[in-house]
Structure 1
Amino acid sequence: MNEIGQEIVRVSPDPTEKYVFKVIEDKDINAFALPGGFVYIYTGLLNAVESDDELAGVIAHEISHAALHHGLKLTKRQKPWDIAQMAVVLAGALANKDTSSGAYALSVLNTAKLNGYTVELEKEADAAGLKMITQSKYNPVGMLTFMERLDRSESRTGASVVELGIFRTHPYTPDRARALRAGLNNANIEINRRLTTRSIQAIAESVKIRDVEAAVVKIDGGVFVTLAPSEGTPALERARSVAEAVNRSLLANLRFQEVTASAAAPVIQGRGITLAELTDADAALVNKTPADAARSAASQLKDTLWREYLRTHS
């Protein structure tokens, strides 16, 4: 974590500033920065990130809070409200003949003002953090993928469903994710989520089918193709070659609509690049014609990529 943090410090507004990165044993997904260059990351957050790029995005956000002196701004923000706060306390006490009610009104007013300002600062830290990480060796898309995953988690638990208005302490996660996407697009950075998350990948496995030493290529738990030995090449070796081709295409941001089955030959392609070419023996293992086996494999891959798309965009 310290190595990642120091890389972000290197591209921060003041790279000579000293920062110390510490871990707090807590299951909450949280992080914060304190004056003096102390950045604290909860173990819950460390377990939630899926790559160094995502962690770098979190650290860039927290360093932005420190570099932009947000703590000082919040402190200064309170002072103009001292007189108004006293008036609220007095009015509450007179109306209710109970100083605790007045104190509650003071708390409400203070929370409203400070949290409203915190929304502004969080957005500012997101923008500054994105700019910093773009200049670092880490992929800025990690900042987006982590925010999107928080958004999906909050949507499932209902954490962001209730309208909290000026009392919420952070901008809605969807708003922040949209702003990050816009920032990446404005910087002409391709949003390839597979580079910064534990994304789907193809793996080769040996199987035995009707006494044939065959192999399968699996993607996201489903079988993409089933292969037999061919012209002296073991099935597993063929499967590994197919898996490598698929994984290269996945890392190049292959999309479901770019997967096709050739009409002229039993070939599955992704963005015009051959991913797998099936033989008669391959097709026989799944009781299909070569053309049908290729179409079925292409359909399987399309479905897998479509499910991935839904997971990352809903």
Structure 2
Amino acid sequence: MSDSNTTSSTNPSTFILLGIPGLEGAHVWISIPFCAMYAIAIMGNFTIMFVIKREPSLHEPMYYFLCMLALTDLVLCTSILPKILSIFWFNSREIDFSACLTQMYFIHCFVVMESGVFVAMALDRYVAICHPLRHSTILTSHAVAKIGLAVAIRGSLLVLPYLILARKWPYCRTNIIPHSYCEHIAVVKLACGDTRVSSYYGLFMIVCVRCLDVFFIAVSYTHILRAIFNLPTKDSRLKAFGTCSAHLSAIFVFYVPHLFSALTHRYGKNVPMHFHVFTANIYLLVPPMLNPIIYGVRTKQIQDRLLWLISQKMK
């Protein structure tokens, strides 16, 4: 483009990502914790999938869903961090228009998928605790595969309008995105004309997808807690609740930062831009890093199998 600030074409050839506006001088220092989080996420999620694959006793619905979560986390953090590091380290700010839209699609698609996986895991815990005798007949391998496919299709189709609308809008203002990755709202703000359809659809995704997912999870855990409190002994109640603790912790880690980032972005008019962008990075990097740690620490079967594998390698 002849001018890096404006474009009169419907589809600009490139966008310019600023990284974290206002913190350009600290980009190299910020990259250190980002790299550490990414390394932990890669090692942790690959370890979770490897342990589950190698241990036949873990070939159960709960651990199949955990593998789906690990795979989703890997794609999610990998879709943003390489480009972020190229900005921080090499000042490589340009991103092709099609590459930007592809990144935007992957980010939002896998965020929706991860939310769907948490709903599936809540269903698994509900069946395991409220209908333990029917768990193996309800959640068969075939049923788990169909649930996983439904989660993937839902995420792929629901986010597709983001891509279609973003490609449709004319971009005649600027090609500079004040962000470190191609986030949907940040891209749409560059379009000229009436983009309310994109804004309304983004609101629909928050209200009718994320809120519904949280509602289904809440309903599941209402029945789960009722069943737990009806158990005859304290030990049985603690054991039953212990099987849910990792899932509840992962839900908290995923939804709270995401909700905080979404609310500050939409309603925090006086919040500095660098804070918006920084929190948007954190909510995509922290859950992939913490989820394998949470499940590794709180799931005894994974702990035992991992320790056994390590001891076998050391012999």
Interval of TM-score (by shorter of Structure 1 and Structure 2): under 0.3
TM-score normalised over the length of structure 1: 0.24
Output the TM-score relative to the length of structure 2. 0.24
Higher helix content, 1 or 2: 2
User: Which structure is richer in relative contact order (CA contacts within 8 A, separation 6 or more)?
Assistant: 2
More strand as a share of residues: 1
Choose 1 or 2 for highest CA Rg: 1
